[in-house]
Structure 1
Amino acid sequence: MTRAYLAFTAKGLALAQKLAAAYPGSVIRCGHEAGQVHLADWTARQFAGSDVLVFVGAVGIAVRAIAPHCQSKAQDPAVVVLDECGRFAVPILSGHLGGANDLARALAAVCGAVPVITTATDANGVFAVDEWAKHQNCTVLEPERIKLVSGALLAGKTVQFASDWPIAGAPPDGITAGDAPDFALTLCPAGDALHLVPRIGVLGVGCKRGTSTETLAEAFAAFCAQNRLAPQCITAAASIDLKQNEAGLLTFCKSHSWPVQFFTAEQLRAAPGSFTPSAFVQSVTGVDNVCERSAVLAAGGTLVFHKYAHTGVTFALAVRPYAPDWRWQNV
Structure 2
Amino acid sequence: MTTAVITFSPQGLKVMQRIASHMAVDQYLHQAIAAPPGVTPFERVVALTGEIFSRYEGLVYVAPCGVVVRAIAPLVDSKLRDPAVVCLDVGARHAMSVLSGHEGGANDLAIAVANITGAEPVISTTTEAVKDLIVGIGCRKGKSAADIVTAVTTALAGLELPLERVRLLATADVKAQEAGLLEAAAQLNIPLRVIDSDLIRHSTRPFGHSEFVASHVQLPAVSEPAALLAGRRTSLLLQKTAFNGITVAIARENCPSLA
TM-score by length of structure 2 reads 0.49
TM-score by length of structure 1 reads 0.39
Higher RCO (CA < 8 A, seq sep 6+): 2
